Structure 1
Amino acid sequence: MNTYRFFVLFFIIVSNLVAQNKEITLEEIWSGNFSHDRLQSLQSLNNGQSYIVQDYNRAKGEMRVDIFEYKTGEKTGELINSSKIEGLNFFQTFSLSQDETKAILGVQIETIYRRSVKGQYFVYNIKTNNLTQIDVDKIQEPHFSPDNSQVAFVKNNNVFIKNIDNNTTTQVTADGQKNKIINGLTDWVYEEEFAFVKAFEWSPDGKYLAYLKFNESEVPEFSMDIYGTYGNDLYPKQDVFKYPKAGEKNAEVSLHIYNVKSDRSTEINLGDYHYIPRLKWSQKTNLLSAQTTNRHQNELKLHLVNTDNFSVETILTATDKAYVDVDDDLTFLEDNSFIWTSEQDGWNHIYHYSENGKLINQVTDGNWEVTNYYGYDSKTKRIFYQSTEAGSVNRAVYSIKINGKSKTALADKSGTNSADFSADFSYFINTFSNAETPRRFTLHDAKNGKLLRKIKDNQKLLDKLEAYNLSEKELSTIKINGNNLNMWMIKPKDFDPSKVYPLLMYQYSGPGSQSVSNSFFGTNDYWYQMLADKGYIIACVDGRGTGYKGRDFKKVTQLELGKYELEDQIAAAYKLGQESYIDADRIGIWGWSYGGFMSSNAIFQANDVFSFAIAVAPVTSWRFYDTIYTERYMTTPQENASGYDDNSPITHVNEFDKGDYLLIHGSADDNVHVQNTMQLIEALVQANKQFDWRIYPDKNHGIYGGNTRLHLYNVMTEFLMEQL
């Protein structure tokens, strides 16, 4: 071989080795360099043969809603194009009327809390291109009536109805007032814990509007200082809102039904209850369903309200020694019988009840969980759902006859499958990923799951990741305290079992959660890959109290949040520390929110096992957290003082004898208040314990915005590299 050819060959080999050994940087992670392709705002059209996707053309500065054919994937048209709308050259959000002839377009969208927003909204007539502004002010939750002639919305805590045909507005309620009365929207704690904002529902014939009223006059107020930016804000501003902490007064919630024709509201007597977490009209236009729970949330009732005489019938009562979950699975069929999901046999399954609440049959059965109810096809009498039948870390998609027979696996490849069905249940788009495969979108026949075509496969991301020679995310189980717990582990790519490595454990551990799943990388996984490149092993164990392994496994932590979860993390760390390749003296743990609560307890109560901990936005006492979440698992502090205090990190600061601890919080966290961190800091200071802490001004529970996440992860990485 001549010298030139040798040099070229050597250069190619070295270049390939270098190209396959790039190290991930935090700048790449938080610039979105590893983001996935998605199907933005995917929605089936009524015909079941087409779907729409929202798309922004940056070059032209236009927002579109494009129409695609399911079968071929071909774009067949544009439903909405901002460049063709006179008076509105851009929109951020859209929602279609029931007959798909009109759309509500939103601009100047402003986030309030986790799910709530307000903005300027317009009704756009797709056929005529006519544009009508709903209100001159920013409003919330505009929704069409079933016949598309009216839009109900909320402004200044009052409900209004806009008549599109004659351009008039009717005010339904007049007593709305900030921090006192809310009509048609949920308060902070409902929004966060019952996961909905719009607290009104049109009847199927558009004659009635059911809505909730929240009287939060006696709910204690919480305030946060907003510091603003240098040069613009000389004095901090104060954000004051109602936040019911555990054991304190909740808002008084009542159900009302407004008669559009008579312009009159009637309050409905639902009997003895504390919360109204769901409203839904049945197939009969005169029957509204309402779900209520007691304060402990261990009794859930389903009521039917008859608008003919406003009588109420309780047709189902679900109870549990711990709590009953609230979900969105209730589905009324054509004969007004209904689908319901429940853990009554120890696992979450689907049930079919008659209109009067008599059980017809249990549709699914087995030692596995239904994790998503997709819907019911009246033509084939089949129910579509997602479950853990292939193992608790996996998700598969099935259909089954409503009588519980003829189950069909539609998408069960090992990993995480989720489905989006066409309106007529003839097709579904499956989203699949596993530990090695980023999201793949494919079209399937809903009758048998047959693959019809590929849509997107994120191959570009896989090609990009080839340069980094990433470590495998190993899925396994570990026997801890009599249970086989799910675990993942990431080792350095040049792992040598004869060497010894420090271990960083991540966990969340909140009730019903899951951190170990057979799915592709989330953002934090890229950070873990970066740490593995630097010689760390990273592991995660889902202990008792987490989800998808049955009712008893999940609810064992009742009344004692933090006790069994901590026992499992300590035992897992101890067992992993016995591995020859793990340095038992260098085991760290970190977590965010509930995970920060856990990591704080770990370093305080078990610093003989953990030498290092990071807690981000932690709950430090459940006394500081909201009623609905906390009391669901703990009852009230007045009833269960020891459950609250025995497992509070604040209680255990004097046990923090050794180890390194970093505490981080956002000052404008409306969810887990920075009060949690400030109270813990004071306890640590008075106990003369040394630790590190960071406060991010005006940042909420997610601690993001601008370079904030990059800065946060730089802080955590540097602390970890120095101390672990």
Structure 2
Amino acid sequence: MNRLILFVVCGLTVISQAVGQKKQLTLEEIWGGAFRTEYMDALRSMKNGKQYTVLNFTGPGQSSLDKYDYKTQQKVETIVASSDAVPFFTSYEFSADESKLILATEIEPIFRHSRLGIYYVYDVKSKELTKISEDKIQEPELSADGTKVAYAKENNLFVFDLKSAKTQQLTTDGKFGSIINGITDWVYEEEFAFVQAFEWNSNGTKIAFLKFDESEVPHFSMDVYGQNLYPYQHEFKYPKAGEANAKVSLHMIDVASAEVSKVDLGAPYYIPRIKWMNNPNYLSVRTLNRHQNHLKLIAVNAKDNSSTILLEEKDDAYVDITDDLTFLADDSFIWTSERDGYNHLYLYDQDGNLLNQITKGNWEVTSYYGYDQAEDRIFYQSVEEGSINRDVYHISTSGQEKTKLTQKVGTNGADFSADYSYFINTFSSATTPYEFTLHKAANGKKVADIKDNKALSKQLEDYALSKKEFSTLTVNGNELNMYMIKPLDFDPNKAYPLFMFQYSGPGSQQVANKWWGANDYWHQLLAQQGYIIACVDGRGTGLKGRDFKKVTQLELGKLEVEDQIAAAKKLSELPYVDEERTGIWGWSYGGFMSTNALLKGNDTFEMAIAVAPVTSWRFYDTIYTERYMKTPQENASGYDDNSPFNYPELLKGKYLLVHGTGDDNVHVQNSMRMVEALVQANKQFDWAIYPDRNHGIYGGNTRLHLYTKMTDFIKENL
């Protein structure tokens, strides 16, 4: 026994000396870009499948669109570069035949995804440059033959004819705050994640578009402080849970006549996707009811606007909207569904009859990449090797001949060439920053290394960084994924404060074997200062099947909070955890969680930090909230029983509340109501408000200031 004790002490001394020789992380380094990760610039495969294009920024105000060869990785040519004749451009889009490009300049953000800009059409052969409009416009898209451009401006749709250089206005009823043609409203953009709500068919004869009537949607306003003498109010339409949404309808434009007709879909509540089939006369449309638990996939005949239902998806909770829909040559289609309890791939004929469930098992398909019809191969990503890892596979439509294409353990993603002969694999793990490699799509064989972060890995060797330890924790009858970061000089005979991190939103995942970046650096900094960091993905998180994900339905913040409290109690039983020093933090949904954990678990948690938290789901938007909670009118207790400002008297520990006043997503109203509740309960707390900062709370020194404040708060209170 004595020899063992001496060995351990001696070993710890060696570790301490090694740690002492390593550098300590600083907040200035983390938020000053000292550990910047190299990424692969977004590439797009050329139609020939042998080459791809990358937008390169070659200097201040200089950009070029360059073509590369997949096999050699060498640059073949520069297609277009900014010059005296071509303005600096920041994005591009090819026409279907790759004869023309749309170049984006002078981009001005609106919301999370939407942009205004000045756009040009560049003819690849003649090198002629044509400005589409003198005004800033949205979402220009070339017709398949590259002769026309459709775009949105001031809530209306237009077509610009490149041959005649004439512009035709297709809709005239667009009006700010009332009617939007061809562009989504705020809540569709945020929750259904698309902006362009119009599409050309495959021969350029028709344009389908969505119209949003948001005249009955309540206004929301935010004070903007800026540098002016007087603040001003920014107003936009924001439908909160239980309130009126925009009325959405589908319309068809005959391009030759400019005639606009309405398609009768039976008054669906949401239309979250439209997509033309290969047959130019048929459009696919997805509709949802308000509860989002009944989806219809509808085929619309553009000749007479008649429609038929191809398939329906129903769920006791909700049906997810994805982009996992591919029409094959005969307009049979591939689709994903959770109908057997896990997200899998299915094959249907053109009439919507099920031909085959392609993938099966107690695991999830996490991404669908596409279909190689020539070789009958479907390419997808899944968690077959464990829910914290992801790999890439191909499989036939019969469900046979499955081949695993990636080998490294961690998170693998793929970007395929147009002919599915190659793919670029993006790999990372908890210990390996991003690597980009070229592989053959048939068997996964590596062809070439493209880019890695070996320089960053070498740089980090000089720092006292701890291993992220993955495990599981059984609480409340469930085996939950967990990771832990301990101080590098960890001594099992000491008791350390425990600081927990989580997000916990429906279908989310924080415990994943991947490279996370800045937050992980910060957690490592805290570990260097003597804290144990732990993260537990509780019930309601994703990639463990439908039932695990949807068990929190109608009561967001109940089971998830119970799991975080139970996990903290169980971890506090470890001999090296100080049960009197337990904290928790989170951002957005995670801020909602950390606030509730501190209140409902006031005998477990001594402190919490909540950044940009929801404090009542009554304040959040319709699409997200009602998907999980139904409306407040139907489920008042579900909304109020887990709203932290309804029980501020439970606060015992130290609490830091942070919000940006320019948050158009989780409004600062959430924190203001929490503040007022705590004041009236005579509870002391700390808080920070960042003027005009949005949900991400960044810009200039903002992140450095925020993380300095959080670090100081932890050191003072945990």
- Do structure 1's residue 675 and structure 2's residue 669 form an aligned pair? yes
The letter for the 1-side match of 2:438 is L
Contact 1:667 1:698 in 2 (8 A): yes
The letter for the 1-side match of 2:38 is D
Partner of residue 79, structure 1: 79
1:312 to 304, 307, 315: 307
- Distance in 2, Cα, partners of 1:361 & 1:452: 34
Partner of residue 34, structure 1: 35
Partner of residue 633, structure 1: 628
Report the alpha carbon displacement of residue 521 of structure 1 after superposing the two structures with TM: 3.3
Partner of residue 5, structure 1: none
Partner of residue 49, structure 1: 50
2:701 to 707, 712, 715: 707
The letter for the 2-side match of 1:145 is S
Contact 1:20 1:466 in 2 (8 A): no
Alignment CA distance shift 1:367-1:444 (3 Å):
same
The letter for the 2-side match of 1:225 is D
1:48-197 to structure 2, matched below 5 A, reads 48-58=49-59, 61-83=61-83, 86-197=84-195
1:389-431, Cα deviation, whole Å (9 max, x unpaired) = 0000000000000111100001142110000000000000001
SS across alignment from 2:311:
strand
1:201 to 192, 199, 202: 199
1:454 to 449, 455, 469: 449
- Do structure 1's residue 334 and structure 2's residue 329 form an aligned pair? yes
The sequence identity of aligned pairs, in percent, is 61
1:535-574 to structure 2, matched below 5 A, reads 535-574=530-569
The letter for the 2-side match of 1:680 is M
Contact 1:390 1:412 in 2 (8 A): no
The letter for the 2-side match of 1:68 is Y
Contact 1:397 1:412 in 2 (8 A): no
SS across alignment from 2:595:
helix
Report the alpha carbon displacement of residue 212 of structure 1 after superposing the two structures with TM: 0.4
SS across alignment from 1:438:
coil
Partner of residue 344, structure 1: 339
Report the alpha carbon displacement of residue 655 of structure 1 after superposing the two structures with TM: 1.1
Contact 1:601 1:652 in 2 (8 A): no
Report the alpha carbon displacement of residue 287 of structure 1 after superposing the two structures with TM: 0.4
- Distance in 2, Cα, partners of 1:274 & 1:300: 11
The letter for the 1-side match of 2:510 is S
Partner of residue 3, structure 2: none
- Distance in 2, Cα, partners of 1:121 & 1:593: 35
Moved more, 612-621 or 269-278: 269-278
- Distance in 1, Cα, partners of 2:465 & 2:98: 46
The letter for the 1-side match of 2:206 is Y
- Distance in 2, Cα, partners of 1:381 & 1:408: 13
Partner of residue 217, structure 2: 219
- Distance in 2, Cα, partners of 1:65 & 1:460: 27
The letter for the 2-side match of 1:689 is K
CA RMSD, 1 decimal: 1.2
Contact 1:369 1:550 in 2 (8 A): yes
- Distance in 2, Cα, partners of 1:365 & 1:621: 39
Contact 1:39 1:53 in 2 (8 A): no
1:660 to 654, 666, 675: 654
Partner of residue 468, structure 1: 463
- Distance in 1, Cα, partners of 2:494 & 2:679: 39
Q: Which runs of 4+ in 1 moved over 4 A?
A: 16-20
What TM-score comes out, normalization by structure 2 length? 0.97
Partner of residue 685, structure 1: 679
1:493-552, Cα deviation, whole Å (9 max, x unpaired) = 111111111111000000000000011232100001111111111110000000000000
Partner of residue 697, structure 1: 691
Alignment CA distance shift 1:18-1:391 (3 Å):
closer
1:264-663 to structure 2, matched below 5 A, reads 264-656=259-651, 658-663=652-657
Report the alpha carbon displacement of residue 125 of structure 1 after superposing the two structures with TM: 1.4
Q: Structure 2, unaligned stretches of length 5 or more? A: 1-13
- Distance in 1, Cα, partners of 2:692 & 2:600: 31
- Distance in 1, Cα, partners of 2:79 & 2:454: 29
SS across alignment from 1:685:
helix
- Distance in 1, Cα, partners of 2:464 & 2:80: 43
Alignment CA distance shift 1:292-1:592 (3 Å):
same
SS across alignment from 2:188:
helix
- Distance in 2, Cα, partners of 1:280 & 1:384: 20
SS across alignment from 1:210:
strand
- Distance in 1, Cα, partners of 2:585 & 2:190: 24
Report the alpha carbon displacement of residue 491 of structure 1 after superposing the two structures with TM: 0.7
Contact 2:377 2:397 in 1 (8 A): yes
Contact 1:296 1:323 in 2 (8 A): yes
- Do structure 1's residue 721 and structure 2's residue 715 form an aligned pair? yes
- Distance in 1, Cα, partners of 2:143 & 2:192: 24
1:436-482, Cα deviation, whole Å (9 max, x unpaired) = 11111111110011111111121001011011031101111111111
Report the alpha carbon displacement of residue 75 of structure 1 after superposing the two structures with TM: 1.3
SS across alignment from 2:117:
strand
Partner of residue 22, structure 1: 23
Report the alpha carbon displacement of residue 18 of structure 1 after superposing the two structures with TM: 8.6
SS across alignment from 1:718:
helix
Contact 2:19 2:464 in 1 (8 A): no
- Distance in 1, Cα, partners of 2:603 & 2:709: 25
- Distance in 2, Cα, partners of 1:69 & 1:142: 28
- Distance in 2, Cα, partners of 1:472 & 1:211: 51
1:295-329, Cα deviation, whole Å (9 max, x unpaired) = 00000000011011110101111000000001001
The letter for the 2-side match of 1:48 is G
Report the alpha carbon displacement of residue 17 of structure 1 after superposing the two structures with TM: 6.2
SS across alignment from 2:164:
coil
- Distance in 1, Cα, partners of 2:21 & 2:411: 28
- Distance in 2, Cα, partners of 1:288 & 1:172: 20
Contact 2:249 2:267 in 1 (8 A): no
Report the alpha carbon displacement of residue 19 of structure 1 after superposing the two structures with TM: 9.4
SS across alignment from 1:398:
strand
- Distance in 2, Cα, partners of 1:438 & 1:296: 40
SS across alignment from 2:151:
strand
Q: How many residues align?
A: 703
- Distance in 2, Cα, partners of 1:184 & 1:521: 36
1:242 to 222, 237, 240: 237
The letter for the 1-side match of 2:265 is L
